[in-house]
Amino acid sequence: MTATARATANSTGPYRSYVYAYPHKTAYRPLDGHPAGRPLLSELWAAERKDALSLYLHIPFCEVRCGFCNLFTRIGAPDELTTRYLDALDRQATAVRDALGDGEPVRFAAAAFGGGTPTFLTAGELERLCDIAEKRMGADLRSVPLSVETSPSTATADRLSVLADRGTTRISIGVQSFVDAEARAAVRPQHRSEVEAALGRIRDARIPVLNIDLIYGIEGQTEASWRTSLDAALAWRPEELYLYPLYVRPLTGLGRLGTGSGGPEDPDPAWDEQRLRLYRAGRDHLLAQGYEQVSMRMFRRADAPRSGPDDYACQTDGMIGLGCGARSYTSSLHYSFDYAVEMREIRGIIDGFTTTGDFSRAEVGRYVDGDEARRRHLLQSLLQAEGMRPAEYRERFGTDPYDDFPAELALFTARGWLDEEARPVLLRLSPEGLAHSDALGPELFSPGVRAAMAAYEAK
């Protein structure tokens, strides 16, 4: 496959961008325009509802960095860096909980540990991570859904035992492929035997929901090899499966190898066709095996327990994010710390986080109100297979989505992306619309967000 074949498709292709949050961090900017400098967290949260918050703790460490990964994470943690990071996380949690105040009850309805790889931490460090969530933030991990991400090499029995004992209800493992040659092509050093052993340990831990991540569009992948990975995953009867199209982005391992431009200017119809073909084959196979489609990426076994919010839940208002790669969401502001992909930049941001003493203010972010709130609501609802009830939209915003977004919805209709039989009760994607979620989502970005993302200098 040529370099062009691996590049991200242009605006007319089906794979423009995975919209896992809106606005993306590349649209965030330093929050220095506040009259008193960066806004105080206590002010931001003063008028917010606090009875059903979500809590996310971010661990930015991995043993290796996969070739496709552009997440905020670094390889390894020398010189007791994990200890210093947890110390800073503890300080941040204390400051955030103080900012939430005690004027009304503070309750967390869901929690998640992500990364990076949270199970990069030792069993003892995972205990401390849970203590920060419980003793500092007040989250009752044993009574709310708790999701934790892991990897084959770090899903050890002692770590899984801690997570199970502390109330984990869902474990998500990034496998990507059960075919060793495909794992190597994705710059993910692992062997199927190691993956199978890790899955066995996860099932032995009796955590209620197992999710397995798989990727399609890898160099050399065929429908037959894709079916091999799907069937290998299905053998474990996972409650959830996520099927991700491969992207090659700037500053990632595959991007540096020259295997793709990572930009919209260098499309390849053959790669688009391959990914669409593999997506449809995977979707149809999972549906035939008793799974239901929740979004383009997420499939849930029909008899599986619900473990918490569905896909794209990271866009829910009332999110408290702890850690230097985590986002927080109030009803009008999304905020975080600085964002980077390149390893040297990430190391610098992590080092700065570990030496921070004052976590009382928001650093960088973007206000999401008015038109942006409407766009976000429509986007996150449409990307769910169940769709959106226009009546609920009207109740929340006092306007009609067809009046607010006539051009976008007309475009989706013209392309056959909307389920016309569901109207007017539901605004829902057709099967073809779900398949093109990564082209549809960016169409709903506002001009301001587009401009901010275009102006962002990757680092």
Tens digits of per-residue pLDDT, 408-459? Answer: 999 999 999 999 999 999 999 999 999 999 999 999 999 999 999 999 988 8
Q: What's the rounded Cα separation, in Å, for the pair 443 and 408?
A: 7
Average pLDDT over residues 129-140: 97
Q: What's the rounded Cα separation, in Å, for the pair 145 and 316?
A: 15
Q: What's the rounded Cα separation, in Å, for the pair 360 and 178?
A: 45
Residues 121, 122, 128, 133, CA torsion sign:
positive
- Residue 394 pLDDT more than 50? yes
- Residue 405 pLDDT more than 90? yes
Q: What's the rounded Cα separation, in Å, for the pair 53 and 90?
A: 19
Residue 32 pLDDT level (bands cut at 50, 70, 90): confident
* Terminal alpha carbon distance of the chain: 27
Residue 255 pLDDT level (bands cut at 50, 70, 90): low
8 Å CB contact between 214 and 241 = yes
Q: What is the distance of C-alpha 419 from the center of its chain?
A: 26
Who contacts 322 (Cβ-Cβ below 8 Å, separation ≥6)?
A: 55, 56, 57, 58, 89, 92, 93, 96, 132, 137
**Could you give the 3-state DSSP secondary structure of residue 110?**
strand
Per-residue pLDDT tens over the stretch 352-393? 999 999 999 999 999 998 899 999 999 999 999 999 999 999
Name the residue type at position 39: P
Q: What's the rounded Cα separation, in Å, for the pair 188 and 163?
A: 25
Residue 339 pLDDT level (bands cut at 50, 70, 90): confident
Per-residue pLDDT tens over the stretch 203-222? 999 999 999 999 999 989 99
What is the DSSP secondary-structure string of 177-243? -SSHHHHHHTT----HHHHHHHHHHHHHHT-SEEEEEEEE--TT--HHHHHHHHHHHHTT--SEEEE
Burial class (CB in 10 A: 0-12, 13-18, 19+), 18: middle
pTM: predicted TM-score of the whole model, two decimal places: 0.91
The percent of residues above 90 in pLDDT, for the chain, comes to 75
Residue 239, CB half-sphere, CA atoms under 13 Å: how many?
18
Given its phi and psi angles, is residue 113 left (phi above 0), alpha (psi -120 to 50 degrees) or beta? beta
pLDDT, position 290: 97
The 3 state secondary structure assigned to 137-187 is: CCCCCCCCCEEEEECCCCCCHHHHHHHHHCCCCEEEEEEECCCHHHHHHCC
Who contacts 27 (Cβ-Cβ below 8 Å, separation ≥6)?
A: 366, 449, 452, 453, 456
pLDDT, position 458: 83
Per-residue pLDDT tens over the stretch 9-23? 334 689 988 888 899
8 Å CB contact between 240 and 209 = yes
Residue 7 pLDDT level (bands cut at 50, 70, 90): very low
Average pLDDT over residues 315-338: 90
pLDDT, position 9: 34
8 Å CB contact between 434 and 287 = no
74-75/61-62 β-pairing: parallel
Per-residue pLDDT tens over the stretch 100-120? 999 889 999 999 999 889 999
**Could you give the 3-state DSSP secondary structure of residue 54?**
strand
Q: What is the mean pLDDT of the chain?
A: 89
Q: What's the rounded Cα separation, in Å, for the pair 132 and 83?
A: 13
Per-residue pLDDT tens over the stretch 59-74? 998 887 655 555 667 7
